[in-house]
Structure 1
């Protein structure tokens, strides 16, 4: 089921994207990432290459403290085991109480009714950002009204695909960067969610933060794919591209509609 989003209302300038990237590099925000077991190492390395600092504890005894003291929290449902089920609500409640931005990535909710129900329960925390694809969005929301209700409370949606769509109560973006080879490496989407969360920690406008974060990550993917011989060499090239990305790189590659 596809829920349509509004037409683009705001363009994105390369200088704007690069300035937010520089904010991440200067501030070095700590992002607490409750992510899936497959993605943990790659996500940590992506955050480090970007200029951020990862923390990833799942222990229910300490996750609230980590989340509250981080600069932002990412919740990814990719491997939803019992430890993560217990840790996630504690972390989201603590981050919200501390005024930290929260990103929710409801991975594969279209494959599991139990996972979908859990993700829908987490919406009570009103995350700042929900990042998902069209099938996941269709599984979580029966109609457009549910999306509009969350947007009205301040949640921003980043719907990824061939064209990335970002919508909020005030603005939306359409972004066209990325490379097919990125889909041949596990956890690229999960790591991308961490990048968006890092940008949220340095930019109060969540829609703008998501647009900048997606652009940086997908441009890095394009740069990496041009140097890589295949999926095996894409990962180190992607990390290098994130680390070295310049204003000129963004100016030459940024694609919006």
Structure 2
């Protein structure tokens, strides 16, 4: 399957840019502009409200939803519940990012409750991932030096990326939003998540070639997401099936 992933990633990136899916992000309060700019650079259309009065209307008009648990407060908890209800009702795919659930037992418990609600994809770092029991029907993306995407017995490792991503707040949040954008154009969640992590990792590598530090890496990553072409994906992809 790994041999087909780069080619499918090229096709799906083209679909995102052609269809311009609307992605609603329930995002932590630290990085909404960066995530919105990243989605726009990729070719999607972001919306970011966390108002309980409005969020259901926005999700109903979105093509996919991202639920990020950063800066979790009572209003965001309420908005998340409404958003997931509407996504389920409308048949919209959604991704879960349990940001920093390893710091907070209540947040970890809430993340586990949300996993039972049936997101298409979980995106988590190793510390977050190890706290959670991922249902078999949820694509599990564990990020790190190499990203591991697992679902239904299939496991893919994506080794593209750049160390500067760890020094810029919001890069993980943005990768979750990119997954949501690919979910909006691809019904197979494993393929969508694999293609999204490959695209994001290659964009990070491209950004790292021109950035001189974290301050210049952030705008370089936005530029790379906007300028990324299929030829870059086919040339630089490092994706392999896990050997059992």
TM-score (norm 2): 0.95
Do structure 1's residue 122 and structure 2's residue 105 form an aligned pair? no
Residues 93, 125 of structure 1: 8 Å contact kept: no
> Does the aligned pair in 2 maintain the 1:109–1:140 contact within 8 Å?
no
- Equivalent in the alignment of 2:154: 171
In structure 1, C-alpha distance between the alignment counterparts of 2:83 and 2:155, rounded to whole Å? 28
Kindly report which structure 2 residues correspond to 1:1-257, keeping only aligned pairs within 5 A, or say none. Answer: 10-141=2-133, 147=134, 150-151=135-136, 154-169=137-152, 171-257=154-240
Shift of 1:170: 5.7
Contact 1:31 1:54 in 2 (8 A): yes
CA distance in 2 between partners of 1:132 and 1:182 (Å): 15
- 8 Å contact 2:96–2:122 — kept in the other structure? yes
Q: How far off is 1:135 after superposition? A: 1.2
Alignment partners' CA distance in 2, 1:214 and 1:194: 11
CA distance in 2 between counterparts of 1:169 and 1:251 reads: 26
Cα distance in 1 for residues equivalent to 2:164 and 2:192: 25
Q: Find the residue that maps to 2:101 and give its secondary structure.
A: coil
Alpha-carbon distance in 2 for matches of 1:246, 1:10: 19
SS at match of 1:49: helix
| Structure 1 position 233, deviation (Å) | 0.9
Deviation at residue 171 of structure 1 after TM alignment: 2.9
Structure-2 separation of matches of 1:124 and 1:182: 30
Distance 1:222 1:254, change over 3 A: same
Query: How many residues align structurally?
Result: 240
List gaps (5 residues or longer) in structure 1: 1-8, 142-146
CA RMSD of aligned residues (A): 1.2
